[in-house]
Amino acid sequence: MSFAIGHFALGAAVTTLIVTYLLPNVPYPRTLVLTGGLWALVPDAAKLVTSPKLTAFHESIFAEFFWFHRTLDRIDAPDSAGISALFVALFFLVTVLVERRERRQFGRTSERYDDGDVPTQ
C-alpha cells in the first residue's frame, strides 16, 4: 500500500496533463486537478469504513480505474516515503511545466488587462 499523498499526487499530475493538453478550454481546470487527485483516493475508502465489499473493491482490478491505484499499492507495498515523495515531486514538476507553458502561450495576466479592469482581446 502506498501513502495517500502518493496516490493524490499521481492522480493530480495525470489530471493536470490531461486538462492541459487534451482539454485546454475546460472551465475550472485547477478544480479538475484537485478532483483528479481525490479520484485517486476513492479505493482507500476501505480504510475509513469497515466493509468487506469496499475491501474487495480496493483489491480488485476495478481500482485501476482510479489512476492505477491497485498497481501503485503493489509497487509500493512497504509504504515507502521515497516513492510518495517521488510522486509529489512529479506533480510539482508537471505543475511548473504547465504554468510555464501557459505563461509563454498567453502572457502574464497583468499584460492582458489595459486599465486593470477590462481584458484586452
Spatial separation of the C-alpha atoms in residues 40 and 25, rounded to whole Å: 23
Q: What is the pTM of this model?
A: 0.79
Q: How confident is the model at residue 16 (pLDDT cuts 50, 70, 90)?
A: very high
Which pLDDT tens digit goes with each residue over 42-100? 998 888 888 999 989 988 999 899 988 888 888 887 878 988 999 999 999 999 999 99
> What's the confidence (pLDDT) of residue 108?
64
Which pLDDT tens digit goes with each residue over 45-58? 888 888 999 989 98
Tally the C-alpha atoms within 13 A of residue 79's C-alpha that lie toward its C-beta. Answer: 4
Domain definitions of the chain by residue range: 4-112
Reduced to 3 states (helix: H, G, I; strand: E, B; else coil), residue 113 is: strand
Residue 6: what residue type?
G
